[in-house]
Amino acid sequence: MKDFAGRIAVITGGGTGMGRELARQLVAEGCNIAMCDVSRAAMDETRRLCEADKLPQGLRITTHLADVSDEEQMLRFRDEVAEQQQTDRIHLLFNNAGIGGGGSLFTNTRAQWERTFNICWGGVYFGTRAFMPMLEKADAGHIVNTSSVNGFWASLGPTVPHTAYSAAKFAVKGFTEALITDLRLNAPHIKCSVVMPGHIGTSIAANSRKIQSDTIQSGAGQDTLSPDEIAQARTRFIAAGVEPSVLTDEAVQAMVAERERSFREEAPMTAAAAAKVILDGVKAERWRILVGHDAERLDAWVRNTPEEAYEPDFHARFATEIGWKLG
């Protein structure tokens, strides 16, 4: 699929980050967009930005509230797309929605763990199941599943447990690779790609916290951490070597806010640049799309020395080479 003009693309998590930038760039190429998110306000802003970029005449942008971890909501999303886009087919499916959290089986609740896993993995599975009939009816189709570097390296470093997100992203990677053969045998006009970004400047850290606390749907979100969130953050900071005596509630609040800001604003790659890499990969029909120099180098490191990947100094050595901040 070398040209997106006149096509129809479905994007999950279209309200912010890479989902928003995929929408903007696809619209700029004349592609119709149907996006879902759990935040109406975020999707409204994505739509405003798309329209500010001067929409080609007759282009459709539709927005749909849906939690990708809920199959019933995803099926409703599909039905709304068919009705509002006035179609029985789509050409592009970006299973992009994701959150973090639930990193530890010990210090996080089961609900937090499963919320992360069910969005990051379940969203891909339910999205693919729901929209496959519409992809089959198109003359050409492409499924793009967002995994992560944590889909081949299950770590954020030696002091931070990362089980829920990593387990989900490994599942996304394996599912997409297995889908290559399934599609080739049963729907050869549909291609698929697994996307593995490194550190991209998005609001995933802040959004994950708001989704885990069920405050994002209001649009206002939650800027003040709950007592439970403060306690969990304090535990993480202590594990990372911060002196406990300085970790007052106010200090923890400020440190979390600063980490969310720096993750978004000081990343080595913007969400817009990441979206371009993804769309270029789709046009080239690449099934494996690494996004960012850090993703490319980390992939090489893990492949070259897989048995060292979880040793305490691996992260420090890699971070020094690539310029990642430690702690």
Q: Minimal CA–CA distance to 16: which of 229, 272, 259? A: 272
Where does the pLDDT of residue 106 fall: very low under 50, low under 70, confident under 90, or very high at 90 and above? very high
**Domain 8-220+268-322, CATH:** 3.40.50.720
**Among the ranges given (52-66, 103-117, 120-134, 275-289), the one the predictor scored with the smallest mean pLDDT:** 52-66
At residue 238, the pLDDT reads 77
Where does the pLDDT of residue 220 fall: very low under 50, low under 70, confident under 90, or very high at 90 and above? very low
At residue 154, the pLDDT reads 97
Q: What share of residues in the chain are helix, strand, coil (percent, to 5)?
A: 55, 15, 35
Do residues 159 and 239 touch, judged by C-beta distance below 8 A? yes
Residue 89, token pair as written in the block: 């087919």
Vertex 203: Cα angle to 199 and 208 (nearest 5): 100
Q: What is the pTM of this model?
A: 0.90
The pLDDT of 252-260, averaged and rounded, is 76
Q: Please tell me which residue, 325 or 17, carries the higher pLDDT value.
A: 17
At residue 222, the pLDDT reads 53
The pLDDT of 129-149, averaged and rounded, is 98
Half-sphere exposure of 167 (CA within 13 A, CB side): 17
**Phi, psi (degrees; rounded to nearest 5) at 191:** -105, 170
**Length of the chain in residues, anyone?**
327
In the chain, DSSP finds a helix count (H) and a strand count (E) of 12, 9
At residue 215, the pLDDT reads 60
Average pLDDT, the chain: 91
At residue 204, the pLDDT reads 73
Vertex 193: Cα angle to 191 and 194 (nearest 5): 155
CA distance 24 to 50: 5
Q: In which order are the strands placed within the sheet that holds 190-197?
A: 61-65, 32-37, 8-12, 92-95, 141-146, 190-197, 288-291
Do residues 68 and 172 touch, judged by C-beta distance below 8 A? no
pLDDT at 232 over 80: no
At residue 253, the pLDDT reads 79
Calculate the alpha carbon distances from 158 to 124, 229, 240, 268, 291 in Å.
28, 21, 9, 22, 23
Alpha helices (H) in the chain, listed in sequence order? 17-28, 40-52, 71-84, 110-117, 123-136, 163-186, 204-212, 227-239, 249-265, 271-283, 293-304, 312-322
CA distance 100 to 292: 19
At residue 140, the pLDDT reads 97
**Among the ranges given (18-27, 252-261, 275-284), the one the predictor scored with the smallest mean pLDDT:** 252-261
At residue 227, the pLDDT reads 79
Residue 39, token pair as written in the block: 């935040």
Calculate the alpha carbon distances from 156 to 73, 231, 236, 319 in Å.
32, 20, 12, 11
CA distance 223 to 213: 11
Residue 141, token pair as written in the block: 């189709």
Residue 110, token pair as written in the block: 């089961």
Tens of pLDDT, residues 14-72: 999 999 999 999 999 999 999 999 999 999 999 999 998 777 788 999 999 999 999 99
Tens of pLDDT, residues 204-218: 777 776 777 666 554
Half-sphere exposure of 298 (CA within 13 A, CB side): 31
